[in-house]
Chains A and B, each alone.
Chain A
């Protein structure tokens, strides 16, 4: 069983603000961490590998520094990983990101199961996994709550689908996106960390890929364009609801009605 987990390095804090005057992004340093949702998919992958045999690899796209999250995954028990890094990948939207990752996965070899996290905490789109599966031409299921069995080259899963909990089987190879909070991720091993060597990750760039058309990557390969970024309207004005209990309850009732809560 070969399992690949797609992971991402995200900003350490979501405390990003736009200066309302200059429109400049303000950031508290540039600390970064492993996307918290990826911890659940890593735990899922590692526990499956323990139960059914096999190994877990990771893949990420980002700057060379993203190697640190590969190391973190290795400390949790993954075998190693791949960093897809190239300036040509810069400015990628969901489409270009998913395409780049799918090209990278193809270069990494064959996998039985690819696991993605529910979403990242910076992009927050929860879309890349499904697009990757399309480019790899394999089935995908999102919001997976548990993997119940692996038999006869089939993955048996329980997934959340809006009002329903669905049990299904998926032919391998396939891609699943794990729900958040479905397990308790193991802690990275301090012992492994002490003995880490530099060769946990390999790096792939554009030159390593099969598709050598630069228009499919980065900003050129992106269908969406960010026209502008701006601060959200802040509700800094506090409304005070005055009066006696009768007037206050009436005002609250109107508020609830205007919010369409009833």
Chain B
């Protein structure tokens, strides 16, 4: 921790002007002969590195917690009734990996109602100890009782790190708990590493994914992070591991809430292509009914959605809500396979941020190959049926 100090003696009109240009956030202003740094500052310290001594950084010693009092890596168990969200298992796997560095135990925290034997499955994924808050008051997710249980656990067990799945639920709960603990929280981490001094190194994309930021919380505990589903691999279950969950006491005060859940319905299967993680997109070269049917089948097999280019919408082949591109939806799936799509700029603008782009096209000059990560020059009509057959066969092995 520290602060930026402007050395006003050195400031001239010229170098002040230069300095204002160095700041990528426009936080440095020069008005009426006074150089100032505004609250737009992100502490990137470029002005220190490039400012020729106009700005210096002064280290401040900040009181830090006694880290040895905080032990263990806790995974918050995201579940609906008996069904544990798989992001939980992925986090358990990562927690075990991180715990090896420090020799800390791995904890699972479960908050819910009438929790059955199924939570013991968490032991299979490397959890050393399961802590359970079980009460009818926890049947529905309401922020205050869940925060109270979470903080009760933290006060009693004192975990060093806390990992929460970045689900809708986790994204509300983690910040509320972190704020009450006055501790740091990093959202949507894509890489996690552990230092020997128990500092959790959290890496996440910033500024729309164009930059990666490496973040630590060196002075506070616990260190909170959220991680999206399917970022880390799910470990193999070790079915011989077992144990007895620890039941935690609940006081009426912990169950107090200003929220009442009146009813709920299960969401219908989403057809919003912009939310989809996996997309099979078809273009003019895959317009025939046969290929379209196969594309839909592939989308279903991969758990994804079918999308298309503008000509298919204009030709009334598919509904406009399936359209990718400037005049349609922008998508950023983890995986997109483009079938018979040439890759016009308008289409590419709506999907080029996708994590993995596969393109199949007969024309090897097609612009789609400029943005594709995997380029397949070939006939969709031939490749697609073979691929579908292999996937069907392959899924029988598992």
Distance to closest chain B CB from A155 (angstroms): 10
- A142 lies within 8 A of chain B by Cβ: yes
Q: A30-B24, A141-B143, A219-B43 are in contact. Are A15 and B383 (CB under 8 A)?
A: no
Q: Are A87 and B373 in contact (CB under 8 A)?
A: no
Q: Which residues does chain B contribute within 8 Å of A249, judged by CB atoms?
A: 383-384, 386-387, 390
Q: Are B39 and A259 in contact (CB under 8 A)?
A: no
CA gap between A138 and B358 in the complex, in Å: 47
Q: Which of A134, A230, A232 contacts B175 (CB 8 A)?
A: A134
- B301 lies within 8 A of chain A by Cβ: yes
Q: Are A164 and B40 in contact (CB under 8 A)?
A: no
- B153 lies within 8 A of chain A by Cβ: no
CA gap between A100 and B32 in the complex, in Å: 28
Q: Are A95 and B394 in contact (CB under 8 A)?
A: no
Q: A165-B264, A224-B217 are in contact. Are A124 and B387 (CB under 8 A)?
A: no
Distance to closest chain B CB from A223 (angstroms): 3
CA gap between A123 and B187 in the complex, in Å: 10
Binds B, one of A45-53, A168-176, A192-200: A168-176
B310-350 interface code vs A (CB 8 A; 1 in, 0 out) = 00000000000000000000000011010000000000000
A contact patch SS: mixed
Q: Are A15 and B210 in contact (CB under 8 A)?
A: yes
- A85 lies within 8 A of chain B by Cβ: yes
Q: Are A224 and B184 in contact (CB under 8 A)?
A: yes
Closest A residue by C-beta to B37:
A87
Instruction: Give the tally of cross-chain contacts (CB within 8 A).
Output: 306
Q: Which residues does chain B contribute within 8 Å of A17, judged by CB atoms?
A: 210-211
A1-43 interface code vs B (CB 8 A; 1 in, 0 out) = 0000000000100111110000011110010100000000000
- A210 lies within 8 A of chain B by Cβ: no
Q: Are A231 and B187 in contact (CB under 8 A)?
A: no
Q: A87-B38, A90-B37, A163-B80 are in contact. Are A262 and B301 (CB under 8 A)?
A: yes
Q: Are A222 and B390 in contact (CB under 8 A)?
A: no
- B372 lies within 8 A of chain A by Cβ: yes
Q: Which residues does chain A contribute within 8 Å of B140, judged by CB atoms?
A: 166
Binds B, one of A67-75, A182-190, A237-245: A237-245
Closest A residue by C-beta to B380:
A245
Q: Are B24 and A25 in contact (CB under 8 A)?
A: yes
CA gap between A64 and B387 in the complex, in Å: 57
Q: Which of A25, A142, A232 contacts B46 (CB 8 A)?
A: A25
CA gap between A32 and B25 in the complex, in Å: 10
Closest B residue by C-beta to A88:
B39
- B297 lies within 8 A of chain A by Cβ: no
Distance to closest chain B CB from A22 (angstroms): 9
Q: Which of A121, A140, A166 contacts B264 (CB 8 A)?
A: A166
Q: A90-B40, A262-B391 are in contact. Are A142 and B215 (CB under 8 A)?
A: no
Distance to closest chain B CB from A151 (angstroms): 13
Distance to closest chain A CB from B155 (angstroms): 16
CA gap between A135 and B181 in the complex, in Å: 11
Distance to closest chain A CB from B80 (angstroms): 6
Q: Are B39 and A89 in contact (CB under 8 A)?
A: yes
Q: Which residues does chain A contribute within 8 Å of B302, judged by CB atoms?
A: 256, 261-262
Distance to closest chain A CB from B138 (angstroms): 14
Interface size counted on chain B using CB atoms at 8 A: 108
Q: Which residues does chain B contribute within 8 Å of A14, judged by CB atoms?
A: 207-208, 210
CA gap between A63 and B23 in the complex, in Å: 13
Interface residues on A, range: 35 or more
Closest B residue by C-beta to A30:
B26
Q: Which residues does chain A contribute within 8 Å of B366, judged by CB atoms?
A: none
- B158 lies within 8 A of chain A by Cβ: no
- A260 lies within 8 A of chain B by Cβ: yes
Q: Which residues does chain B contribute within 8 Å of A228, judged by CB atoms?
A: 213-214
CA gap between A95 and B301 in the complex, in Å: 42
Interface residues of A in 70-127 (CB under 8 A from B): 84-95, 98-99, 121-127
Distance to closest chain A CB from B193 (angstroms): 11
Q: Which of B41, B180, B263 contacts A134 (CB 8 A)?
A: B180
Distance to closest chain B CB from A213 (angstroms): 12
Q: Which residues does chain A contribute within 8 Å of B386, judged by CB atoms?
A: 245-246, 249-250
Which of the listed residues B211, B334, B360 has the most CB atoms from chain A within 10 Å of its own CB? B211
- B239 lies within 8 A of chain A by Cβ: no
Q: Are A240 and B356 in contact (CB under 8 A)?
A: no
Q: Are A225 and B217 in contact (CB under 8 A)?
A: yes
Q: Are B210 and A245 in contact (CB under 8 A)?
A: no
- B74 lies within 8 A of chain A by Cβ: no
Q: Which residues does chain B contribute within 8 Å of A252, judged by CB atoms?
A: 337, 358, 374, 376, 383, 387
Q: A124-B206, A231-B211 are in contact. Are A90 and B218 (CB under 8 A)?
A: no
Q: Which residues does chain A contribute within 8 Å of B262, judged by CB atoms?
A: 156, 167-169
- A133 lies within 8 A of chain B by Cβ: yes
Q: Which residues does chain A contribute within 8 Å of B36, judged by CB atoms?
A: 87
Q: Are A130 and B205 in contact (CB under 8 A)?
A: no
Q: Are B187 and A90 in contact (CB under 8 A)?
A: no
Closest B residue by C-beta to A32:
B26
- A191 lies within 8 A of chain B by Cβ: no
Closest B residue by C-beta to A25:
B24
- Extra contacts, 8 of them, besides A25-B46, A63-B26 (Cβ < 8 A), are A11-B207, A16-B210, A26-B24, A87-B41, A127-B174, A156-B262, A220-B60, A253-B387
Q: What are 17 pairs between A and B in contact, CB < 8 Å?
A: A11-B207, A63-B39, A63-B40, A85-B39, A124-B188, A133-B176, A141-B172, A142-B168, A168-B260, A224-B184, A232-B205, A235-B373, A238-B369, A239-B375, A248-B360, A252-B387, A256-B391
Residues of A within 8 A of B (CB): 11, 14-18, 24-27, 30, 32, 61-65, 84-95, 98-99, 121-131, 133-135, 138-143, 156, 160-171, 174, 215, 218-220, 222-232, 235, 238-242, 244-246, 248-253, 255-257, 259-262
Give the 8 A-B residue pairs with the shortest CB-CB distance, closest first.
Answer: A223-B184, A14-B208, A91-B43, A90-B41, A249-B386, A134-B179, A224-B184, A130-B175
